Amino acid sequence: MNSKVQSLKDFLAGQGRVALVEVAGTKGSTPREKGAFMLVSATTMSGTIGGGQLEYMAIDKARQMLGSSPSPLRGGSAGKAGRGGGTDGRATRAPTRFEVDEMYATLDVPLGPEIGQCCGGRVEVLIRLVDAALAADLIAAAEAEEAHLPHVYIFGGGHVGQALASTIALLPVRGVVIETRAEALEGMPETVETRLTPIPEAEVRNAPAGTAFAILTHDHALDFLIVAEALKRDDTAYVGMIGSKTKKATFRNWFLKSVDGSEAQLARLVSPIGGDAVKDKRPQVIAALAAAEIMTALVTHTAASNADHQARCNKVTAG
């Protein structure tokens, strides 16, 4: 598995001189939050601070600092910012403050009509040339963030499993695809972990707290075993099973009568995954809907867990 941390290391090692472009402060409505960043080299970028003219201007300044000639400002040097994304001198002078030395620059940018954006807020951008110390800090921060990413376990590497893995690979989660068939794990995204096992339900028992489980294997009986294991846990963020109303009804009958499941546990099952509001069974569509559903569940679970932790801390402090 090629992790996002490894991708960062590869970018820093393979692009020569690199600048860090970071949102240092915000006021009002802005595309990204404080702390969002991107890396800029002479020819390419990694990450984003929100796109649009704000980002084009920041990339342009970063490349000036890098001593590069290519500019991301599109559409030439004449005319106001428009559909082509080009800017004139007024647009590039839009920051009310611009300071620069050999190692860093700051831009204070109002997101108004002067640069062709209507967010209405204001963004302070800090641009720094990346030296060895800053590179080490970026890698350490990425490793810490990756260690705390929520897990998404996808059981099944069929058409929907492949599509969901590709979608999950773009999100801030740790994706794991689990299969009993080796050939079904071929072609998975590099940033998604794959596990081949004859007993996939055992992976449920060993998963971290707060994991989201998406069950969509080639075998309905295997689906049932995996879902039953997931529903026995009370610390999951999401348990979803692909299938029809008939499959869910069959599972319900089996779960309540054969494995001593409860109605309370059953109520946590999401099936079909992705909901049934959109009548489209193409794998990519199901994957997109399921990914949105899973991310919503993960964010909600994390917020609830943090609130519960804070409440316990307050209780201990008060006591």
Share of the chain above pLDDT 90, in %: 67
pLDDT value at residue 24: 94
What band does 95 get if pLDDT is binned at 50, 70 and 90?
Answer: very low
pLDDT value at residue 53: 86
Q: Which residue has better confidence, 37 or 79?
A: 37
pLDDT value at residue 2: 67
pLDDT digits (tens, 9 = 90+) for 236-250: 999 999 999 999 999
Mean pLDDT of 109-135: 84
Q: Is the pLDDT of residue 224 over 60?
A: yes
Q: Which residue has better confidence, 70 or 243?
A: 243
pTM of the complete model beyond 0.85:
no
Pairing of β 238-241 and β 37-40: unpaired
pLDDT value at residue 85: 36
pLDDT value at residue 1: 65
Tell me, rounded to whole angstroms, the distance of Cα 188 from its chain centroid: 17
pLDDT value at residue 102: 62
Mean pLDDT of 69-94: 37
Region of poorest pLDDT, from 37-51, 81-95, 262-276: 81-95
Q: Is the pLDDT of residue 126 over 70?
A: yes
pLDDT value at residue 116: 66
Six-digit token string for 246:
């008939």
pLDDT digits (tens, 9 = 90+) for 135-146: 999 999 999 999
What band does 70 get if pLDDT is binned at 50, 70 and 90?
Answer: very low
Q: Is the pLDDT of residue 309 over 80?
A: no
Q: Is the pLDDT of residue 79 over 90?
A: no
> Distance between CA atoms of 59 and 73, rounded to whole angstroms?
9
pLDDT value at residue 4: 82
What band does 88 get if pLDDT is binned at 50, 70 and 90?
Answer: very low
Domains and CATH numbers, the chain: 4-144 (no CATH), 149-307 (3.40.50.720)
Region of poorest pLDDT, from 73-82, 170-179, 250-259, 299-308: 73-82
pLDDT value at residue 170: 93
What band does 272 get if pLDDT is binned at 50, 70 and 90?
Answer: very high
Q: Is the pLDDT of residue 74 over 60?
A: no
Arithmetic mean of pLDDT over the chain: 86
